[in-house]
C-alpha cells in the first residue's frame, strides 16, 4: 500500500517543470497557429475553426491518414506475431543468449536517418545487394523510385527490420520470468506445446505485449525520418505518411494554420487510439 | 531442437545483411561503387574514413552528437530518479493523471513540435547549442526514464525504506547509499534508453542546430544532397554512427531484456 503524501509533489517538480517547458509552450504555439491566418510579418488574423474544418474535409488528409493506418496496421500484424515466434525459439541459457540479445538490439540503436540511408544503399537497383539480387538474379522488376508497390514493400520490410527486435526483447523478458514449476506442471498433465503457449505463456506475456504494442503503435504512427530518407514520400504520394505530409505543409508550403490544425487532429488520434487500446488491454487487471 | 535454433539464426542473418552492405560499401572506392555490383570490396580503401577523421565538419558532428546525448542522459536520469521514487512509494493528489500526462508526451509526433521548438529555443537564445537539443530531447526521454525507473523501484520492497528509517538514516543518505545501489540495474537501463532515443532522433536535433551543435546524422543528409552522391563517404559515416550504440548495448547486455520490458516483469 502506498503512503498518502502530498509533499511527494516536490520530488516530481523538476520533471514537471522540464517537461511542461518542452510540451506546453510549443503546444500552445501550435494551438495559437491553428486558429489564425498569417501572411508573414507576424501579422495574424483570427480564423476560428476554419482550418480544422478544412483539414477534416480534405481528401489529402484522408488519404494520408488512410496510408498511415495501413502502414501501422501492417507492421503491427507482422512484427507482433513474428516477434513472439522468434522469442519462443530463442535459447534461454548459455553463451548464445547475450549474443542474440546484443545483435538483435543493434538495429534500434542506429540513427533513424542512417537506417533510411542504409536501406537506400541496400535496395539501389544496380548496386544495392537486395536490388541487384531481385533484378539480376531473380529477374523480378524491383525499383522503389518507380513502383509504389515496391516502395511499400521496402518501407514495411525496413520497419520490420528496425523494430521487430523490440517485440522480441519484451516477449523474451516476459518468457524468462515464468517459473520452471509452471512448465513441469504442464508436462505432468501432458499438455501439448500449443496449450503450454495458450494457457501458460500467453497470459504471462500480456503485460509486456501491451507495452510492446503500445510502443510500436505510437512510434510507427509518428514515423517520419526513415521513410522520408528512403522514399521521400514517393513515388508520387504513395508513401506520404501523416508526418511526412505534415512537414510538407508546415515547412514546404509554410501553411502554418492548416499544419497546426492538422498537428492537433493527428495528436488527438494518436492519444485516442493509445488510450482505447491501453484501457482494453488492462481492463481485466482492474477486476 | 535444431529446427528451433534456425529461426533466430535466420532472423539475425536478416538483421545483419543491410548492415553488412553498409560496412562493405564504406570500404569501397567511389569508382568501384559506381562501376557496378560487387559482393566484397575489390580494392579495400580507408579513404572514406580518412575524410571523416580529418575534416572538422565531419568529426565535429560526432563530438556534437555525443555531447548533447550525454547532457540529455544526465539531466533525464537525475530528475527522473526522485520523481520515479515519488510515483512508486507515495500516492498524492493527481498522481495518476500526472503519470498519464507524462506518457502522452511520448506519443506526440516530433514533426508537430519541430517549428514551435525552433521558435521557443531561438527566443530564449539557446538555438544552435548542445543544451537546446539536450533539453528538447527531455520531452520524450524524461517520461520514459520515469516509467522505467518506476518499474524497477516497484520491485524493491517497501520494508527496505522503513528499516533504513528505523536505523536512523536520513532520506538523502538512505537514497544515495542504500536505495540507488539496489536499483543500479534500473539506472543503467534508464540511462541506456535515454542515450538510445537521443542518439537516434534527428528531426528535432536538426531543427535546433545550424553549425555549432550540428549532429553527425545531419551532416550526412547534407552531404548526400550537396556533394553529388558520395555513397562511400555516406556509408563510412553511417558505419561510424553504429559504433556508439554497439558499445552501450554491450554494457547493459545482462539487463537488456528486462530493461526493454521497462522493469515490469
CATH number of the structural domain spanning residue A154: 1.10.3720.10
B18 near A CB under 8 A: yes
B25 contacts A121? CB cut-off 8 A: yes
pLDDT score for A229: 84
Please state, rounded to an integer, the average pLDDT across all residues of chain A.
84
For the residues B38-64, what does the mean pLDDT come to? 83
Does position B227 have pLDDT exceeding 60, yes or no? no
DSSP per-residue codes, A139-196: -----TTT-HHHHHHHHHHHHHHHHHHHHHHHHHHHHHTS-HHHHHHHHHTT--HHHH
Which residues lie below 8 Å from residue B167, measured CB to CB, with a gap of 6+? none
Q: Does residue A30 form part of some domain?
A: no
B31 near A CB under 8 A: no
A225 contacts B83? CB cut-off 8 A: no
pLDDT score for A152: 92
Q: Containing domain of residue A108, as a range?
A: 59-286
Does position A171 have pLDDT exceeding 50, yes or no? yes
B82 near A CB under 8 A: yes
Among the residue ranges A77-81, A192-196, B113-117, the one predicted with the least confidence is B113-117
A201 near B CB under 8 A: no
CB atoms within 10 A of CB B208: 29
Our CA-based measurement puts residue A133 at a distance from the nearest CA of chain B, in whole angstroms, of: 10
Between B15 and A30, the higher pLDDT residue: B15
Please state, rounded to an integer, the average pLDDT across all residues of chain B.
83
A272 near B CB under 8 A: no
- In 3-state terms chain A splits into helix, strand, coil percentages (rounded to 5) of 75, 5, 20
Between A96 and A155, the higher pLDDT residue: A155
Among the residue ranges A140-144, A181-185, B90-94, the one predicted with the least confidence is A140-144
Q: What are phi and psi of A232, to 5 degrees?
A: 65, 15
Instruction: Check: CB of residue A166 under 8 Å from CB of residue A83.
Output: yes
Instruction: Check: CB of residue A224 under 8 Å from CB of residue B109.
Output: yes
How far apart, in Å, are the Cα atoms of B135 and each of A5, A15, A25, B69, B142? Answer: 29, 12, 13, 10, 10
Closest chain A residue to B234, measured at CA: A117
Q: Does residue A257 form part of some domain?
A: yes
Q: Taking Cα atoms as reference points, which of A149, A153, A159 lies closest to residue A236?
A: A149
CB atoms within 10 A of CB B104: 16
For the residues A101-115, what does the mean pLDDT come to? 88
pLDDT score for A287: 42
Selecting from A102, A106, A218 the residue whose C-beta is nearest the C-beta of B107 gives A218
A251 contacts B238? CB cut-off 8 A: no
B234 contacts A117? CB cut-off 8 A: yes
Contact list, A15 vs chain B (CB under 8 Å) = 79-80, 83, 102, 142, 146
Torsion of CA B221, B227, B230, B231, to 10 degrees: 20
Does position B81 have pLDDT exceeding 90, yes or no? yes
User: Which run of H or of E encompasses A280?
Assistant: helix A256-286
Our CA-based measurement puts residue A200 at a distance from the nearest CA of chain B, in whole angstroms, of: 15
pLDDT score for B72: 94
Q: What are phi and psi of A248, to 5 degrees?
A: -60, -45
Closest chain A residue to B65, measured at CA: A111
Our CA-based measurement puts residue B243 at a distance from the nearest CA of chain A, in whole angstroms, of: 9
B153 near A CB under 8 A: no
Contact list, A101 vs chain B (CB under 8 Å) = 253, 256-257
Q: What is the DSSP letter of B261?
A: T
Contact list, A172 vs chain B (CB under 8 Å) = 257
Does position B262 have pLDDT exceeding 80, yes or no? no
B200 contacts A2? CB cut-off 8 A: no
**Segments making up each domain of chain B, as ranges:** 57-215+243-260
Parallel, antiparallel or unpaired: strands A3-4 and B90-91:
parallel
Our CA-based measurement puts residue B139 at a distance from the nearest CA of chain A, in whole angstroms, of: 5
For the residues A238-245, what does the mean pLDDT come to? 85
> For the stretch A53-75, what's the b/e string if a residue is b when 16 or more beta carbons lie within 10 angstroms of its beta carbon?
eebeeeeebeebbebbeebbebb
pLDDT score for A286: 47
Burial of A34 (0-12, 13-18, 19+ CB in 10 A): buried
Cα(B263)–Cα(B78) distance, integer angstroms = 18
Does position B225 have pLDDT exceeding 60, yes or no? no
Q: What are phi and psi of A46, to 5 degrees?
A: -65, 130
A169 contacts B261? CB cut-off 8 A: yes
The percentage of residues in chain A with a pLDDT greater than 90, rounded to a whole number, is: 11
Does position B240 have pLDDT exceeding 50, yes or no? yes
Closest chain A residue to B113, measured at CA: A26
Where are the alpha helices (H) located in B37-177, listed in sequence order?
47-54, 56-89, 95-107, 110-123, 130-154, 159-166, 171-174
Considering its fold, how many domains does chain A have in total? 1
pLDDT score for B70: 93
Between A286 and A164, the higher pLDDT residue: A164
Please write the tens of the pLDDT for every residue from A264-281: 888 888 888 888 887 777
B199 near A CB under 8 A: yes
Interface of A with B in 122-141 (CB under 8 A): 122, 126-130, 132, 136
Q: Cell 509452471, residue?
A: A182
State which fold the B57-215+243-260 domain adopts: MetI-like fold (1.10.3720)
Q: Taking Cα atoms as reference points, which of B230, B220, B217, B239 lies closest to residue B23?
A: B239
Q: Cell 518506476, residue?
A: B150
Interface of A with B in 209-248 (CB under 8 A): 211, 218, 221-222, 224-225, 229, 242-243, 246-247
Instruction: Cell numbers for B263, please give them.
Output: 522493469
Instruction: Give Dmax (Cα) for chain A.
Output: 78
For the residues B237-247, what does the mean pLDDT come to? 87
Interface of B with A in 201-240 (CB under 8 A): 201-203, 216-217, 220-221, 224, 231, 234-235, 237-238
Q: Cell 507524462, residue?
A: B102
Confidence of residue B67 (pLDDT cuts 50, 70, 90): very high
pLDDT score for B264: 61
- In 3-state terms chain B splits into helix, strand, coil percentages (rounded to 5) of 75, 0, 20
Among the residue ranges A217-231, B155-169, B209-223, the one predicted with the least confidence is B209-223
Does position A136 have pLDDT exceeding 70, yes or no? yes
Does position A285 have pLDDT exceeding 60, yes or no? no
What is the pTM for the complete model shown?
A: 0.86
Q: Does residue A31 form part of some domain?
A: no
CA A35 to chain centre: 29
B191 near A CB under 8 A: no
Interface A-B: count of C-beta contacts within 8 A: 270
pLDDT score for B6: 86
Amino acid at each position: 500500500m502506498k503512503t498518502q503524501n502530498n509533499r511527494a509533489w516536490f520530488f516530481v517538480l523538476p520533471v514537471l517543470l522540464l517537461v511542461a517547458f518542452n510540451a506546453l509552450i510549443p503546444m500552445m504555439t501550435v494551438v495559437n497557429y491553428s486558429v489564425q491566418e498569417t501572411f508573414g510579418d507576424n501579422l495574424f488574423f483570427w480564423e476560428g475553426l476554419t482550418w480544422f474544418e478544412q483539414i477534416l474535409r480534405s481528401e489529402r488528409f484522408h488519404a494520408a491518414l488512410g496510408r498511415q493506418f495501413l502502414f501501422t496496421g501492417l507492421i503491427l500484424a507482422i512484427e507482433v506475431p513474428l516477434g513472439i515466434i522468434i522469442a519462443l525459439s530463442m535459447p534461454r541459457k548459455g553463451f548464445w543468449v547475450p549474443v542474440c540479445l546484443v545483435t538483435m538490439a543493434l538495429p534500434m540503436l542506429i540513427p533513424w536517418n542512417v537506417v533510411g540511408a542504409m536501406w537506400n544503399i541496400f535496395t539501389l537497383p544496380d548496386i544495392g545487394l537486395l536490388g541487384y539480387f531481385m533484378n539480376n538474379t531473380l529477374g523480378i522488376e524491383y525499383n522503389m523510385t518507380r513502383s509504389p508497390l515496391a516502395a511499400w514493400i521496402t518501407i514495411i520490410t525496413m520497419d520490420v527490420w528496425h523494430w521487430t527486435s523490440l517485440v522480441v526483447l519484451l516477449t523474451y523478458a516476459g518468457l524468462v520470468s515464468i517459473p520452471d514449476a509452471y512448465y513441469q506442471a504442464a508436462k505432468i498433465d501432458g499438455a501439448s506445446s500449443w496449450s503450454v503457449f495458450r494457457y501458460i505463456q500467453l497470459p504471462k506475456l500480456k503485460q509486456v505485449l501491451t507495452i510492446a504494442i503500445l510502443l510500436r503503435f505510437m512510434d510507427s504512427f509518428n514515423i517520419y525520418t526513415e521513410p522520408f530518407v528512403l522514399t521521400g514520400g514517393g513515388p508520387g504520394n504513395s508513401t506520404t505518411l501523416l508526418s511526412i505530409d505534415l512537414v510538407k505543409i508546415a515547412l514546404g508550403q509554410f501553411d502554418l494554420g492548416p499544419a497546426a490544425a492538422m498537428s492537433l487532429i493527428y495528436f488527438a488520434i494518436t492519444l485516442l487510439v493509445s488510450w482505447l487500446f491501453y484501457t482494453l488491454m488492462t481492463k481485466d487487471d482492474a477486476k | 531442437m535444431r529446427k528451433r535454433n534456425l529461426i533466430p539464426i535466420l532472423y539475425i542473418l536478416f538483421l545483419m545483411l543491410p548492415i553488412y552492405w553498409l560496412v562493405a560499401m564504406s570500404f569501397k572506392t567511389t569508382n568501384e561503387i559506381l562501376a557496378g555490383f560487387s559482393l566484397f570490396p575489390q580494392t579495400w580503401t580507408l579513404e572514406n574514413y580518412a575524410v571523416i577523421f580529418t575534416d572538422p565538419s565531419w568529426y565535429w558532428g560526432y563530438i556534437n552528437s555525443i555531447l548533447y546525448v550525454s547532457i540529455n542522459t544526465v539531466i533525464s536520469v537525475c530528475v527522473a530518479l526522485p520523481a520515479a521514487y515519488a510515483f512508486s512509494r507515495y500516492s498524492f493528489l493527481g498522481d495518476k493523471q500526472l503519470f498519464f500526462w507524462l506518457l502522452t508526451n511520448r506519443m506526440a509526433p516530433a514533426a508537430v513540435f519541430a517549428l514551435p521548438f525552433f521558435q521557443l529555443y531561438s527566443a530564449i537564445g539557446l538555438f544552435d547549442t548542445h543544451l537546446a537539443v539536450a533539453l528538447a530531447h527531455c520531452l520524450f526521454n524524461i517520461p520514459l526514464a520515469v516509467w522505467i525507473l518506476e518499474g524497477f523501484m516497484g520491485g524493491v520492497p517497501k520494508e527496505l525504506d522503513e528499516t533504513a528509517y528505523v536505523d536512523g538514516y536520513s532520506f538523502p543518505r538512505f537514497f544515495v547509499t542504500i536505495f540507488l545501489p539496489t536499483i543500479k540495474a534500473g539506472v543503467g537501463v534508464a540511462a541506456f534508453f535515454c542515450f538510445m532515443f537521443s542518439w537516434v532522433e534527428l528531426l528535432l536535433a536538426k531543427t535546433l542546430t545550424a553549425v555549432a551543435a550540428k549532429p553527425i546524422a545531419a551532416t550526412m543528409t547534407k552531404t548526400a544532397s550537396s556533394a553529388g552522391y558520395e555513397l562511400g563517404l555516406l556509408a563510412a559515416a553511417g558505419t561510424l554512427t553504429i559504433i556508439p550504440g554497439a558499445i552501450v548495448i554491450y554494457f547493459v547486455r545482462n539487463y537488456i531484456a528486462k530493461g526493454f520490458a521497462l522493469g515490469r516483469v
